[in-house]
Amino acid sequence: MAAAVAVAGFAPVAQAQEEAPRGDVTLRVAVTQEIDSLNPFLSITRTGTDVLRTAFEQLTTYDAATLAPVPALAERWEPSADKLTWRFTLRDGAVWSDGRPITARDAAFTFDLMMRDETARTANGNFVALFESVTAEDERTLVVRTRSPQATMTALDVPIVPEHVWADLDPGAPPTFPMVGSGPFVITEFKEGQYTRLVANDRYWRGRPRIDRLDFVYYRNSDAAVAALRNGEVDLVNRLTPAQFDELADEPGVSRNKAKGKRFNEILMNPGAADSAGNPIGDGHPALRDPVLRRAIAQSIDTRTLVEKVWGGYGEPGSGYIPPVFADFHWSTSRPFDIAGANADLDAAGYARGPDGVRVDPRSGRPLALRLLAHAGTNFDEQSAPYIKGWLGELGIAVQVQAVSDTKVNEATTRGTFDLAYSGWSANPDPDYVLSLQTCAARPGADGKGATPDSFLCDETYDALYAQQVAEFDRGRRAELVKRMQQRLHELAPMVILGYDDMLEAWRSDRFAAFQVSPDPGGPIMNQQSYWGYYSATPIARAEEGGNTGLVLGAVGGGVVLLAGVGWWLARRRAASADERE
Amino acid sequence: MRRGGVVGGLVLVVVALLAVVAPWVTDPAGLDVTRVDGPRLGAPSGEYWLGTDENGRSVLLLTWWGARVSLLVGVAAAVLSVGIGTLVGLVAAMAGGWVSAVLMRLTDFFLVLPSLVLAIALSTVLERGVGTIVLAIGLTSWPGAARLVRAQTLAVAARPYVERAHALGGGTVHVVVRHVLPGVVPLVVVNTTLAVGTAIVAESTLAFLGLGDPTAVSWGAMLRTASSTGAVTAGAWWYLVPPGLAIAGVVLAVTVCGRALETVLDPRLREPR
């Protein structure tokens, strides 16, 4: 039986089953990001984790509609009175895709491996940082002891792996296929830079998915992915640009989904980077240590215009630190866009304008010439940078935009070698992780390693609130604390929250019924917190191919290039004939 | 050949003039994204003859201003590249011996390096900007010129009048400047002209790959934003065609012009009448 599951991915093996005969209904998903790894301990990319979420269950998952933690492998859980000991009861009857039962030992093995092995902590180490011990009391009972109360215990985003497969493996090893998993799909094939293929898991405890296969096909750019969607080569595409999304509005057989994003986009303002011991590092402009200047900058960026122009209206202007999609924890605010007011504030604070109109820092005597690090190749950064430069120019700040590779931006923001820098994080339903980024503890060691800072903020008030919220188990009271933290961030302004972009998706509605979005309503189909989108895929009667405008345009573009080439070749040929005629 | 050269030259003069006067006859505010209010990816209309880009800026204005960067980089990089090449070629030919051997091995080394890859590496390591692009193109495309100039110098230096100049007591510098260089200059001029075309294409390539100055307007950068913002899917041909045609047109003009110059300066290439 296990072999049959594996084989089905490669050949159309006809197989008799009780109710669901294996057909060949495939959901083909276009992705534009390469998968870093399919090792559940290593994968951190959006696409990699999205694939793995469909193949490996966690102890808990998130409710499709509300994103509140709901049972998955664990059917119930119970903290002790001091919130230090958690007792998870695993589901009876759930089995791995190879037929072996899923027990508490598998979960204990997974967490224990992460506590023992640094490699196994690569992707999700933050969840076990406070763990003291993990034991399987019996087949169905998992007991976790933590050193201090941890509010994220019901939202442990850790794929549970089968002990009988991973016990003898190096946790950093590339996976072998088919991967024995517990989710609705089984990963059977992976070709780097090409595709990842999954087949339906017949033994999935919630019941087999309604489709037989799930293919993630890699496209190098989103125009190619959209063309493939129009031609019916793929069924689901996400991360569309506003222009593409608008264009697909009238496409027959294609439906669109505009989902609220869970990511906030920000510009960091180096508030005086320091390492974990408090020693200054990096080379940030000293004037940015002044909150008055940082607030003036924040006030001079019109996030509303950015949303309108850069995102074509598909997004929400900057507000609190936690994106509005997580309504419980979001703190709603808006900074008025007021360059005149910001100018007056800076005049009052002694930032006099030099002869070239650029203000001078009264303390260091240095002109306010700031570097703005942008991610080269990221649409939002490249398109919004000219706006930022224009607005801050009116404020008397000379901005030099430096578009560099993602790695370089990460390096600079980890070592403090920046003035202004684009950044952004995808928040989780549980806000702990993104909140932790702004604490003193998030500052790295002197060598720039050991922690991931965001803004290098180190504020006593904020840290005290952080410690309170992580130990607060009442959702309402915790949300109150989280909102106060966001207010504090707003006042100190170590960053400007630029906005939250919508996730724009489209799918072939002539082949598939509407997908389950999460959160519902307003959520995305792909890159959910859970697997509801792919699991809900329901095929409908197949209709035939759509238009081919993309192809025509491609031909026109190719024609222009060809024309140029021919012209050049003609010129050369004429010259050559002149040469020969000597 | 000649007529083509004249047409190419005229095109170049017109484009160069337009590029130079752009700041006076057009309003640079039209390039400032914070001050424009055109439609997003609007089709060509009476107000915007070539439509608008994703920020509502006029594509006509962008193409116009793009000529400034493209021509500047093209000419500067060509001059830099041919300058280095000429210097290396001249020194190698005149000094001879181990100096020549070392210089030519260096040239060979750069000749076999894929120049686009090297240029990409350079512009990734250095700060983004027009200067970097010029440097990256200039530093990677000089070996061809060096080889050419060395060959020509050797040919000229072997002529009897050069030997005579030496015999009459002319120093090396005197001989090079007064007798050798005049024989080499035509070749250098032609080479520079042809190199401009290559450099413009290289600049567009680098900008298209996102290695240029993100805030500068250039033809390559326009093609890049057009493709990254989904202009192809949106059917916004007016955003792709003008910069594409501009690159093709200018490069063609430069090439035709260079070939014509070649025949003018080298009588052996003249067409029989």
- State which amino acid sits at residue A187: I
C-beta atoms of B268 and A312 within 8 A: no
Q: At a CB cut-off of 8 Å and minimum separation 6, what does A25 contact?
A: A210, A211, A212, A213, A539
Which one of B210, B230, B271 has the shortest CB-CB distance to A377? B210
* Domain parsing of chain B, residue ranges: 2-20+60-269
Q: In this structure, are residues A386 and B33 in contact, taking their beta carbons and an 8 Å threshold? A: yes
| Reported confidence tier of residue A465, pLDDT bands at 50, 70, 90 | very high
Query: pLDDT-derived band of residue A106, with 50, 70 and 90 as boundaries?
Result: very high
Contact B230 A226 (CB under 8 A): yes
pLDDT higher than threshold 50 for residue A546? no
The tokens describing A505, both together, are: 């998706």
Please list the residues that pair with A544 across neighbouring strands.
none
Q: pLDDT above 90 covers what percent of chain A?
A: 43
Q: What does pLDDT average to over chain A?
A: 84
Residue A568: predicted pLDDT: 55
pLDDT value, residue A579: 40
pLDDT of residue A12: 36
Question: What's the pLDDT at A555?
Answer: 54
Buried b (16+ CB within 10 A) or exposed e, A90-105: bbeebebbbebebbbb
Give bridge partners of residue A403 from the DSSP assignment: A374
Per DSSP, the three-state class of B26 is: coil
pLDDT at residue A559, rounded to an integer: 56
Over residues A300-308, mean pLDDT: 91
pLDDT at site A11? 36
Q: Does A572 contact chain B (CB < 8 Å)?
A: yes
pLDDT tens, residue by residue, A325-361: 888 899 988 888 999 999 999 999 999 998 899 999 9
Residue A43: CB atoms within 10 A of its CB come to: 22
Searching chain A, which residue's CA lies closest to the CA of residue B252?
A568
Q: B241 to chain A, minimum CA–CA distance in Å?
A: 8
Listed in sequence order, the residues at least 6 apart from A430 whose beta carbon sits closer than 8 Å to its beta carbon are A151, A152, A155
Q: Which helix (H) or strand (E) holds B183?
A: helix B181-208
Task: State both tokens at B138.
Answer: 């200039």
- Interchain CB distance below 8 Å, B268 and A582: yes
Rg (CA), chain B: 22
Best mutation target, A231, A301, A383, A404, to test chain B (most B CBs within 10 A):
A383
Q: Which distant-in-sequence residues (6+ apart) come within 8 Å of B24 by Cβ? A: none
- Nearest in space to B87 (alpha carbons), one of B105, B74, B103, B98: B103
Whether the Cβ atoms of residue B174 and residue B94 lie closer than 8 Å to each other: no
Q: Which positions in chain A touch B227 (Cβ < 8 Å)?
A: 221, 223
Minimum Cα–Cα distance from A552: chain B residue: B235
Residue A215: predicted pLDDT: 93
> A250 at the B interface (CB within 8 A)?
no
Per-residue confidence band for A548, with pLDDT thresholds at 50, 70 and 90: very low
pLDDT of residue A448: 63
Which pLDDT value is given to residue A544? 42
> In tens digits, what is the pLDDT along chain B, a chain of 273 residues?
578 888 999 999 999 999 999 888 888 888 888 788 888 888 888 888 888 888 888 999 999 999 998 899 999 999 999 999 999 999 998 887 899 999 999 999 988 888 888 888 887 777 777 888 888 888 888 998 899 899 989 988 888 888 888 888 888 888 888 888 888 888 888 888 888 988 999 888 888 887 777 778 889 989 988 888 878 877 889 999 999 999 999 999 999 988 888 888 776 665 554
Q: Which of A222, A390, A564 sits opposite B34 (nearest CB)?
A: A390
| pLDDT at position A1 | 35
pLDDT band at A53, cuts 50/70/90?
A: very high
Q: Is 90 exceeded by the pLDDT of residue A572? A: no
Neighbours of B185 (CB within 10 A): 14
Is the ipTM, as predicted for this complex, more than 0.90? no
Closest A-chain CA to B127: A402
Higher pLDDT, A481 or A559: A481
Does residue A339 sit at the B interface (CB-CB below 8 Å)?
no
A523-559 burial code (b ≥16 CB/10 A, e <16): bbbbbbbbbbbbbbbebeeeeeebeebbeebeeebee
pLDDT value at position B122?
82
A308 touches chain B (CB under 8 A): no
Token output for A107? 């979960």
Full-model pTM: 0.74
User: Sorting pLDDT into bands at 50, 70 and 90, what band is A581?
Assistant: very low
Name the CATH superfamily for B2-20+60-269.
MetI-like (1.10.3720.10)
Could you tell me where the beta strands, DSSP code E, fall in A99-175?
Answer: 131-138, 141-146
Let me know how many helices (H) and strands (E) chain A has, helices first.
16, 19
Asked whether residue A550 carries a pLDDT value surpassing 50, the answer given is no
Pairwise CA distance, residues B128 & B211, whole Å: 7
pLDDT at residue B26, as a whole number: 87
Sheet with strand A74-79: strands edge to edge: A74-79, A85-90, A141-146, A131-138
List of chain A residues whose C-beta atoms are within 8 Å of the C-beta of residue B229: 241-243, 379, 383
Pairing of the two strands A26-31 and A236-237: parallel
Average pLDDT over residues A514-522: 88
Contact B118, B140 (CB under 8 A): yes
pLDDT over 50 at A578, yes or no: no
Residues A102-111: what's their mean pLDDT?
A: 92
